[in-house]
């Protein structure tokens, strides 16, 4: 896992983007929701400027997500700073599942930020965890925990 001497990275979301992610997550309950993030690398991590929801077409959307291929392709063709992926865990903590890690190589080559959200246990806000997608020396991709900040 992460080298303990590595400085923790930061994924900074602008306010409207954070709000859109929360609204998309809540409006999709009880199903998993997903979408893409646009932004750019910034000192110490990344800055996320925009969020675009993508339909979850998984046959069992309670426990999985599959990006709608047409919408995913459209977002890819739009270009311009496609940098990360978001999805939600409606009924489990916002940490990568075994399935998430199995799917990671599908996106890992082109994306570098990975967000998972869950409904907050208390209050109206969501719980959001952020990870940097990094390639290890063994050629495998890893999710390195990052600090998610707003502003």
Task: Write out the residues near Zn ion by the rule CB under 5 A.
Answer: 97, 100
Residues linked to residue 67 through DSSP beta bridges, in sequence order: 56
CB of 89 to Zn ion, least distance (A): 5
With CB atoms as reference, the residue minimizing the distance to Zn ion is 100
CB of 102 to Zn ion, least distance (A): 10
Q: Are 142 and 122 in contact (CB under 8 A)?
A: no
List, in sequence order, the alpha helices (H) in the chain: 15-28, 69-78, 98-108
With respect to Zn ion, which residue has the nearer C-beta, 5 or 102? Answer: 102
With respect to Zn ion, which residue has the nearer C-beta, 14 or 97? Answer: 97
With respect to Zn ion, which residue has the nearer C-beta, 39 or 61? Answer: 61
CB of 68 to Zn ion, least distance (A): 17
Taking phi first (over 0 means left), then psi (-120 to 50 degrees means alpha), and beta for anything else, what does residue 45 get?
Answer: left
- d(CA 79, CA 134) in angstroms, rounded, equals 21
With respect to Zn ion, which residue has the nearer C-beta, 81 or 96? Answer: 96
């Amino acid at each position: 896992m992460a080298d303990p001497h590595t400085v923790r990275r930061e994924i900074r979301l602008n306010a409207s983007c954070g709000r859109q992610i929360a609204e998309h997550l809540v409006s999709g309950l009880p199903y998993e929701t997903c979408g893409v993030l646009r932004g750019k690398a910034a000192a110490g991590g990344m800055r996320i400027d925009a969020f675009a929801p993508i339909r979850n077409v998984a046959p069992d959307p309670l426990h999985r997500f599959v990006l709608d291929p047409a919408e995913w392709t459209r977002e890819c063709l739009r270009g311009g700073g496609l940098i990360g992926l978001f999805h939600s865990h409606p009924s489990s903590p916002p940490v990568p599942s075994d399935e998430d890690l199995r799917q990671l190589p599908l996106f890992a080559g082109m994306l570098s930020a990975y967000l998972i959200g869950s409904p907050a246990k208390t209050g109206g806000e969501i719980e959001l965890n952020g990870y940097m997608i990094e390639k290890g020396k063994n050629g495998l991709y890893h999710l390195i925990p990052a600090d998610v900040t707003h502003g």
